[in-house]
Amino acid sequence: MDYIFTVRRIRNGQFQPEPGNNSFLIVPPDADDILPEHRVGGPAKKMPDTWARRVLHESKLDHVPEGQPNRGDIVVHVHGFNVSTKKMLRRHRLLAKGLRDQGFEGVVVSYDWPSADKALNYLEDRTDAKITAIRLVDSGITGFVQRQTPDCPINMHIVAHSMGAYVVREAFDDADDRRMVAANAWNVSQVLLMSADVSAASMCELAGKSSSLYRHCTRLTNYNNPHDSALSLSNMKRVGVAPRVGRVGLPETAPTKAVNVDCGAYFEANRGVFTEIEYGQHTWYYHDQTFMRDAYETILGVSDRARLPTRALALPAGLTNRLALIV
């Protein structure tokens, strides 16, 4: 089964690319799209207990790493822009399988915000992303946090792609501005950003926009690809937008809890493998086992960030927060 939390509007029996009520879905493995009939209950402001119990049960580890207490792991996947519900579900399953193949025993849940399946809808998608972002925290993350038990804490992680990184950043920022949400103690362990569509400058330590994101996570890992044409300033839909962190990497002034993994050399060495993938320069992460291994090791959190077998020190040498995916 696949677990999806969507905030798309329902019309004529289908989910539409417009903001709507919260729907918590359990999608059967033979379905190629999400449907309203997959909902647990009706429209819900808060997470239904039945849905939450299923996810929490799936999250519990069969094999706990030596020296660590029993726990559950939930990875919340946040897709990017120009993503239909079918495409979202495909990428959700690619991520879940990719991590599972590496040994991940927790559960992947996708937060599905109302993106349209049209490249020219960039600005409209960005508006819808901002409008609905807060629900990722107040109806999603806090719903799991409030259901933790002392004998089995839950480690929450986020894997965000493209504009999904913008959704996450806005969600964390909005949450700190809302008294009822801020009053709840909530945090996530690992935040992984793939081809993040946010400005590099906004990710520095003193940037107000990202301060909440850094405050509420244990570690942030940014994977950038300098060959990512979707994040290029010359891209027509992105005229006037500052350099993106998913293309140029984190600034040197990022906080110490932030790690940058440059994937440029790795992508270039394997470019031929990704030519058949739609927007391969931007989406190859979902299809690559080396990335999945790195993501799994990051989520597991056993090895130091600079000691993962998939990483090497990047230039300038000696900086533990500037790494590269090995070729």
312/92 Cα distance (integer angstroms): 28
Looking at residue 241, its pLDDT comes to 73
Q: Specify whether the CB–CB gap between 174 and 137 falls below 8 A.
A: yes
CA dihedral (144, 101, 110, 12) positive or negative:
negative
Range 2-260+278-306: architecture per CATH? 3-Layer(aba) Sandwich (3.40)
Other beta carbons within 10 Å of 198: 26
Higher pLDDT residue, 117 or 327?
327
Quick: pLDDT tens for 278-323. Answer: 888 999 999 999 999 999 999 988 778 888 989 988 766 556 688 9
**Is 60 exceeded by the pLDDT of residue 89?**
yes
| Residue that has been written with the tokens 């790195």 in this structure | 294
Q: Domain boundaries in the chain?
A: 2-260+278-306
